[in-house]
Structure 1
Amino acid sequence: MQNFDKTRYTGRWYAVAKKDPVGLFLLDNVVAQFSVDESGKMTATAHGRVIILNNWEMCANMFGTFEDTPDPAEFKMRYWGAASYLQTGNDDHWVIDTDYDNYAIHYSCREVDLDGTCLDGYSFIFSRHPTGLRPEDQKIVTDKKKEICFLGKYRRVG
């Protein structure tokens, strides 16, 4: 995404759909909060439902810090959970598209193959609205899903 403005991006986002990676991951009820401090450093918190030990449901709290790259919409995201059983990582992370006020499409690659392609990644469709995407944003988001070859790969989350 060209001309990404991380300050405009700050605030609360509600996940409405996601493409899952391999392993333990937030299942649903995902809410992310992005912040930028006075030095320009972006951080994020997220919470959502997870299932651990095959059948134990709980709410997980995750934290993330971002390292800037030459592309303003690309970050290196280091993340960890509030509890030791939650995953940690240091993933490449992109904001594919956003209008800042209504929708955002995130993509992250957890594991890169030798040829540079992504072996294991995940993606979120976020809305600023807890009720989901507005009808006028749904076509834009669908077109972007086609563009990144993820059409049909997402599942709805509430």
Structure 2
Amino acid sequence: MPEGVVPVKNFNVSRYLGKWYEIARLDHSFERGLSNVTAEYELRSDDGINVINRGFLAEENKWKVAEGKAYFVESRDEGHLKVSFFGPFYGSYIIFDLDKENYQYAFVSGYNTSYLWLLSRTPTVSEDVKERFVKKSKELGFDANGFIFTEQDLAK
């Protein structure tokens, strides 16, 4: 877990389930070139969470889909999960900031400062939320100059 990144407490998984739009991310190979990225979360029968990530790859004119599963690392009321898209290999999914009143946006980190996302329930967020995301990310050692703000022009 990146230094200073602390998972949110009093996390309510039921309120987090459903569709989220990716507003911003750091660049990494598994999302390179994708726009209109979304993540959908639903409960599994084994107390885990099904994860379905989608993004549009314009150069191939097609949607890319990745399905995975996630499980809480400690307790269900802490925003720290492990997620896998490839067999037994898990990565960290750490919700370190969240609109706790309405669950409208979330700041999510991976296991180090190379992985970071701003997710929203809507295809856009206010400038205030973007500025807060950039400021907090810089304070925690993420490379804010590397942010990719995701196009959401096909949002439904």
TM-score (norm 2): 0.74
1:147 CA displacement: 2.7
Aligned length: 137
2:17 to 10, 13, 22: 10
1:34 to 41, 63, 67: 41
Q: Which runs of 5+ in 2 are unaligned?
A: 1-7, 152-156
Alignment of 1:8-157 (within 5 A): 8-21=15-28, 23-25=29-31, 27-37=34-44, 40-50=47-57, 56-70=60-74, 72-80=78-86, 89-99=89-99, 100-109=102-111, 118=112, 121-130=114-123, 132-150=124-142, 151-157=144-150
1:127 CA displacement: 1.2
Moved over 6 A (4+): none
1:62 CA displacement: 0.9
For residues 140 and 147 of structure 1, what CA distance do their matches in structure 2 show?
11
Q: Percent identity?
A: 20
- 3-state secondary structure, aligned to 1:121: coil
For residues 3 and 142 of structure 1, what CA distance do their matches in structure 2 show?
24
Q: Which runs of 5+ in 1 are unaligned?
A: 81-87, 110-117
**Residue 101 and residue 67 in structure 1: after superposition, are their counterparts in 2 closer, same or farther (change >3 A)?**
closer
- Of the two structures, which has the highest relative contact order with CA contacts closer than 8 Å and spacing of 6 or more? 2
